Amino acid sequence: MRLLELSQAGRTPALPLRIELLDAAGPATLTVEKLLRVLPGQRYVGVAEWRGRKVLAKLLVGAKAARHFQRELTGVRLLADQGLTTPALLADGLQEGEGGWLLFDYLEEADSLWQAWRAVEAQPLLSEAQQAVLGEALGAIARLHARGLWQADLHLDNLLRHDGLLHVIDGGGVCVATPGQPLPRDKVLENLGVFFAQLPVELESFIEELLVHYLLVNGEHALPLEALLKAVAKVRAWRLRDYLRKVARDCSLFSASIGAFGLRVVRRDAQAELQPLLDDLDQATERGHLYKTGGAATVARVELDGRPLVVKRYNIKNFAHWLKRFWRPSRAWHSWVAGQRLQLLGISTPRPLAVLERRWCWLRGRAYLITEYAAGQDIIARFQPCLDKEGSSSPPEIELAALDRLFAALIRERISHGDFKGHNLFWQNGHWSLIDLDAMRQHHSARGFARAYARDRARFLRNWPADSRLFQLLDKRLPQVPGTCPE
C-alpha cells in the first residue's frame, strides 16, 4: 500500500498495514500491527515494525499532510534541541502528493500520566498519590516553559513514564516563543490554565499549593492566582462548548448518523458491543425488566452479554402528542446532551452510550436513550432507616458530605435538575449519581438559576415528612442560593 491509498482507507483499515516508504537508506516496508489513534483521511498513529525494529509510526495523509508533517517535525526537533526528554526520531520523510511519516523509538510498557491519574483519582482530594502524579506533570511543564516551549495540546496523555524518565510526546502541539529563554508570563498562565482546566473542579482550591511543584523547577515568574483562575475558567468554558459540539457529530469519540429518516449517535468505544441491542431495540426493551411502561416513556433494564444497561424509550402517545413533539429536539436528545454535559463537568450520572430518533422527512417520532445501569440504592431507600419509628440516627457522614458536594457542584455550574425526587438520585461508588435528565438545564442567568434551584431544593426536601428529623437535618445542611430560601 502507498500513503496515497491510506488516505482513502477510512477509520478502520485492515491490519496489518504494509506501506512502502523511501528514506535515505532506500525503500523499505513499514508494517503497522496496531492502530492507536485514527483521524480518517488525515492521521494514522500506530505500533509498527521498520527494518527489524519496533517503532511508533505517525502517518500523515490528505490535503494538509505537508503542513501537519512540518509542524510535527519542527516540534520534535525543538524538544530534542532544548534537551527535553522525548522519544528519539528514527526516520522521517515527505512524499509530494502522497503524505509524510515520522517513526519514533517505541517505548515498550510505557504508561501515561493519565493512566496514573485514573488509578488515584477516586482517592480523597489531593491525596499523597494524587499530588505525586500532578507534581510530576507540573515539573515537566515547568521544564518546557523554562526552555521557551509550551504544549498547546497539553494533557496527561502526552506525558509518558518509561524507565524512570518522563517523556514529552506529540511534537505537533509543541510551540515556541524564544528557544532557550523562559516563556513569557502571559503564555505560562495561558498554558497552565489549559492544564488545570482538565482536572476535577474541586481541585481548584488546591491550585496555589500545587503550583509549588512548578515553581521549584521554573521560578522565573510570579504567577498571580487570580489571573491563573481566570485562565482556567476560560479554558473550562471552551472545553465544554467544544465537547458538546462533538456529541452531535461523527468524530473519534462518537459514531454519528444524522439524516432525514433517523438519528443515531453511539459512543465509538461501545459501538461494537451495543450493535446487537441497536438492531433489536424495541424487542429487547419489551423483554427487559420494565420499571415504567406506557404513556410518554418506557424504561427497562436490559442485559447485554451479562452487562446491565438501561433503555429509555420516549413514546408518541397519539397524534396530538406527535404534533407537540415532531418539530423540536426529542427528550432523548436533551437527556443525551445533558448526560454528556454532567460527565464533562465531573457530576456523576450513568454514562450515556447511545441515542436514537425515528424520523420521517426530518419529522421526529419515537426516540431512545441507552445508558449504563445505576446499580446502587436511591436516596429514599438509602435514608429510610433514619425515618423508622425507633430510629434516631442520621445518615452516614460520608453520604451527607457527598450530598454537600453534589449540591455545591450544581450551584457552581448553575444546573437545575427539574425533577429532583429521591428516586432520581442513586448512591453509587461513594457518590450520588443523577438520573432522569429530561428537564435538566444549565442556566446563563443567575436569577433564572436561583428560581430553578429553589424549586429543585423544595422538591428534594419533599421526599421526607416536614416534621421528621431527617427533613430538618437536610433543610439545615443543604446550601441556599441568596434570595431563594428563608434564612
Query: In degrees rounded to 5, what are phi and psi of residue 117?
Result: -70, -40
**What is the length of the chain?**
487
How confident is the model over 136-192, as pLDDT tens digits? 999 999 999 999 999 998 899 999 999 999 999 999 999 999 999 999 999 999 999
Query: What is the model's pLDDT at position 487?
Result: 44
Query: What is the model's pLDDT at position 237?
Result: 93
* C-alpha to C-alpha distance for 43 and 174, rounded to whole angstroms: 17
Residue 244 lies in a domain: no
Residue 483 lies in a domain: no
Is the pLDDT assigned to residue 25 strictly greater than 80? no
Asked if 112 and 157 touch (Cβ cutoff 8 Å), the reply is: yes
- Looking up residue 66, the CATH number of its domain turns out to be 3.30.200.20
- Looking up residue 157, the CATH number of its domain turns out to be 1.10.510
Asked if 416 and 443 touch (Cβ cutoff 8 Å), the reply is: yes
> What's the average model confidence in pLDDT over 108-113?
93
Q: Are residues 118 and 232 in the same domain?
A: yes
Residue 487 lies in a domain: no
Rounded to 5 degrees, what angle do the CA atoms 10, 277, 333 make?
75
Q: Are residues 360 and 389 in the same domain?
A: no
Residue 324 lies in a domain: yes
Is the pLDDT assigned to residue 389 strictly greater than 70? no
Q: Are residues 99 and 128 in the same domain?
A: no
Q: Are residues 25 and 99 in the same domain?
A: yes
Residue 247 lies in a domain: no
Query: Where does the pLDDT of residue 464 fall: very low under 50, low under 70, confident under 90, or very high at 90 and above?
Result: very high
Average pLDDT of the residues of the chain: 91
* C-alpha to C-alpha distance for 130 and 390, rounded to whole angstroms: 43
Q: Which of 348, 372, 396 is the last residue in one of the domains?
A: 372
Residue 248 lies in a domain: no
Residue 73 lies in a domain: yes
By CB atoms closer than 10 A (0-12, 13-18, 19+), residue 177 is middle
Q: Are residues 363 and 429 in the same domain?
A: no
Q: Are residues 89 and 180 in the same domain?
A: no
Is the pLDDT assigned to residue 338 strictly greater than 50? yes
Q: Are residues 219 and 258 in the same domain?
A: no
Q: Are residues 191 and 302 in the same domain?
A: no
Asked if 50 and 91 touch (Cβ cutoff 8 Å), the reply is: yes
Q: Are residues 81 and 117 in the same domain?
A: no
Residue 443 lies in a domain: yes
Out of 84-93, 217-226, 316-325, least confident range:
316-325
Of residues 252 and 427, the one with the higher pLDDT is 427
Q: Are residues 231 and 205 in the same domain?
A: yes
Asked if 392 and 469 touch (Cβ cutoff 8 Å), the reply is: yes
Cell reading at 141: 511543564
Query: In degrees rounded to 5, what are phi and psi of residue 377?
Result: -85, 150
Is the pLDDT assigned to residue 316 strictly greater than 90? no
Query: Where does the pLDDT of residue 325 fall: very low under 50, low under 70, confident under 90, or very high at 90 and above?
Result: confident
* C-alpha to C-alpha distance for 429 and 160, rounded to whole angstroms: 29
Is the pLDDT assigned to residue 229 strictly greater than 70? yes
Of residues 49 and 3, the one with the higher pLDDT is 49
Q: Domain limits at 301?
A: 254-372
- Looking up residue 289, the CATH number of its domain turns out to be 3.30.200
Residue indicated by cell numbers 492502530: 35
Asked if 148 and 82 touch (Cβ cutoff 8 Å), the reply is: yes
Query: In degrees rounded to 5, what are phi and psi of residue 176?
Result: -140, 145
Q: Are residues 190 and 157 in the same domain?
A: yes
| Dihedral angle of Cα 292, 297, 300, 302, to the nearest 10 degrees | 170
Q: Which of 340, 372, 404 is the last residue in one of the domains?
A: 372
For the chain, how many structural domains are there in total? Answer: 4
Q: Are residues 230 and 115 in the same domain?
A: yes
pTM comes to 0.86
Q: Which of 372, 391, 409 is the last residue in one of the domains?
A: 372
